[in-house]
Amino acid sequence: MMDRLELLYYRPLVAAVSEAEHGMTVRRVLERQLGVSRKLLSQVKQTEHGLTVNEIRAYTTAPVAAGDIIRVRMEREISEDILPQPIPVQIVFEDEDLLIVNKPAGMIVHPTHGHYTGTLANGIVYHWQEAREKVRFRPVHRLDEETSGLVAIAKTSYVHQQLSEQMQANGILKLYRAYVYGCPEPAVGTVDAPIDRDPDQPHVRIVTPEGYPSITHYETIAHYDSTSDKPAAAAVRLKLETGRTHQIRVHMKHIGCPLIGDKMYGTQQGVEEEWEDAVGRQALHAEILGFTHPITKKWMEWRADLPPELERLERSLSK
């Protein structure tokens, strides 16, 4: 029976009822111990083995006794709308619950209208297919097409829910490296400036008093002095407190330090062609990612080295 369950369901979430929880409902215990959402419970209770107490099918409102073992089993799913493609994927970490990858610049995370192939999702779905894993593609967050770096993908709806809640509570560490024109003043600071769509160009974001709250913390980590024929530049480490579309790019432009190579938000005045050619895209990299693993409850942290084009840019800036 267990082999059959393993084929149909992901590894179960398990909760042992404590003395203090004696007499509580199944739902209450699962909310207390595992933070299981009501949406997930409403899904799993529809299947024969989705929700059990001592391996007997149970209702969410059923009372439990101390020592009872509650199991939540989610049905295995696949992304039927994503075409598997043999696209190289740089895997940084993977277990039964999570996949962390280092996305290259020039790649979209998820298929969009008119762009159904060549995405990170296509490559990951192929990777799981080759590994004979039945998993649905659930990115926890995304990066712009021209931004490189770390992306987290949840393998189950529960893990996705837990990481989304961590993100909303500002519990996920995301540090970015950017190379910008000019030097931020002060060298360490916070940009607190609301962002919304540009009414004249809906695909572009702008700082506007009517926008959504947006906060970016930054620290200048290297300064490249200007000369008579070159503008000053800097390497900046950034931490997002909110996650608006294009937030770093918009905020850096807002303080007069647009990203090198950013065609949408960069400035044409004082552009150094050597630097633009060295990077060939916006100079932004998701360098560090950290969060509490939803299953083991341990803090985990990953780092992605600079890609070759940003190393070239750094060498060019240092000349």
The catalytic residues are 144
Helix or strand holding residue 289 (H, E): strand 284-292
The DSSP call for residue 254 is H
Count Cβ atoms below 10 Å from residue 301 Cβ, excluding itself.
10
Rg from Cα positions in the chain: 23
3-state secondary structure of 159: helix
Enumerate long-range contacts of 272-279, CB under 8 Å, 24 or more apart.
Answer: 272/230, 272/231, 272/233, 274/316, 275/179, 275/233, 275/313, 275/316, 275/317, 278/309, 278/312, 278/313, 278/315, 278/316, 279/179, 279/309, 279/310, 279/312, 279/313
Which tokens belong to 192?
Answer: 């607190």
Q: Round to whole Å and give the CA distance between 240 and 175.
A: 8
